[in-house]
Structures are given as C-alpha cells and as structure tokens.
Amino acid sequence: MTKSDERPGAELWVPEHADLSELRHAAEECRGCELWEDATQVVFSRGAATAPMMIIGEQPGDREDLTGEPFVGPAGRMLMEAASAADLLEDDLYVTNAVKHFRFERRGKRRIHDKPAVGHIVACHPWLEAEAEIVQPEVIVALGATAARAVLGRTVKIGEVRGTVLEPPAGCVSPVVVTAHPSSILRVRDSADREAAFDALVDDLRTAADLVTR
C-alpha cells in the first residue's frame, strides 16, 4: 500500500454549502494525499463562479506552485492565446486542475513534473465536484488524459474523443469536450506541426464555446 493509498481523500476537508471563496480557503488545509508535504502551496483555481466554461488541467506546474495561481506558466499562456483565438474572454473561463498540488521529481535544484497517479486524481476529486457544483458551467473542457480521467471517471484516448461533445458523466449536468493539454503542444519541435496542434486546440475550444449561451 502506497502512502497516498493510506490517505483518506479530500472529502474530509471539503466544506458543505460553501461558496467559492470558502472552498479555496479550505483547500489550503487539505491533507487528502501526500502531495501537500513537498508542494509550496495549494493551487486552487482562477475565475468567477459565474463563468460558463470550466477548463480543467492536470496539476500545477513549477511556476504555478510558486505563485499559487493556475496556468501562469508557458502552458497557461498558450491556453489563453488559444482561448482568445476561439473568441473567448477571460471572464468566460473558470480554470482549475484535477490535482491541486504539484507532484514533481527533484533533480539537483530543478523540480521536474511528475504525472499524478490515479490515487491522487481520486483523492482530489471531491474538490472538483464541489467546484462544478458551485460554478454550474454550461460546458467542461478537459485538457489532456489526466483531466479527462478525473472528469469522466474512466481512461480515454485523447485522439479518439477530442473535439466531440460528450454526455455529462454521472452526477454532473455539464457536457464535456476533451482536448490536448497545451503543454503537449509546447513539446512539438517542428514549427508547422506545432502550429497545426495549436489550431486543433483552438478548434476544440470553439466547439466548447458553441455550447455557451450566457
């Protein structure tokens, strides 16, 4: 049994009948898995409870862990560029992550991103449920496989489901659009391929934006 398996999960720290501000404050004390021990701080979300689109990433990166804000690094800048190209305003977006603490491997002075385990996704899921209950988004966009797993409750292949409107998972009223995580686009070396991957992300965000009425 791993250390994360021994943790109770976030449900013990998620307050009932909380607003978004109370939820963010409560997350600072979460000990639902072991990731809080090495992370600088919890990284919760950005955006208003009235935002019609909820965008979910994997986990905070190094920059996000230090600042306490999600999507402020290179992947975040690319996401905002793609959202703008899809004619979305920042006020349209509530941005969060499936896992709220940075999981990393230390190599000398560097902290290298380490993908969250399923146990971390499951442990953190009560926060995601509480956020969706407050925001009540018209559409949820899952960035990458980890976010899709967290939202849909099952493993999917991005290439098979991306850009299509999926039925809401059990206990949710919002349709889901799965797309690639912007960090995967940053890893594409060929400039033409990178531009094509960016355009595909914009197209997927437009598909999600077509579901927004408010």
> How does pLDDT run across 172-205, given as a tens digit for each residue?
889 999 999 999 999 999 999 999 999 999 999 9
The answer to whether 74 and 186 have CB atoms below 8 angstroms apart is: yes
The answer to whether 73 and 95 have CB atoms below 8 angstroms apart is: no
What would the two tokens of residue 83 be?
């959202």
pLDDT reported for residue 7: 60
Contacts of 62 (CB under 8 A, 6+ apart): 73, 102, 104, 111, 113
Q: Is the dihedral of CA 65, 22, 127, 161 positive or negative?
A: negative
Query: 1-34: per-residue pLDDT in tens?
Result: 233 445 668 999 999 999 999 999 999 999 999 9
Average pLDDT, the chain: 94
Reference 58, options 125, 136, 134, 115; nearest CA is 115
Burial 9-28, CB ≥16 within 10 A → b, else e: bbeebbeeeeebeebbebbe
Q: Poorest-confidence range of 47-51, 161-165, 190-194, 210-214?
A: 210-214
Query: 74-120: per-residue pLDDT in tens?
Result: 999 999 999 999 999 999 999 999 999 999 999 999 999 999 999 99
Contacts of 160 (CB under 8 A, 6+ apart): none
The domains of the chain, with CATH numbers, are 3-209 (3.40.470.10)
Q: Any idea which residue has 């000990």 for tokens?
A: 31
pLDDT reported for residue 3: 39
Burial class (CB in 10 A: 0-12, 13-18, 19+), 130: buried
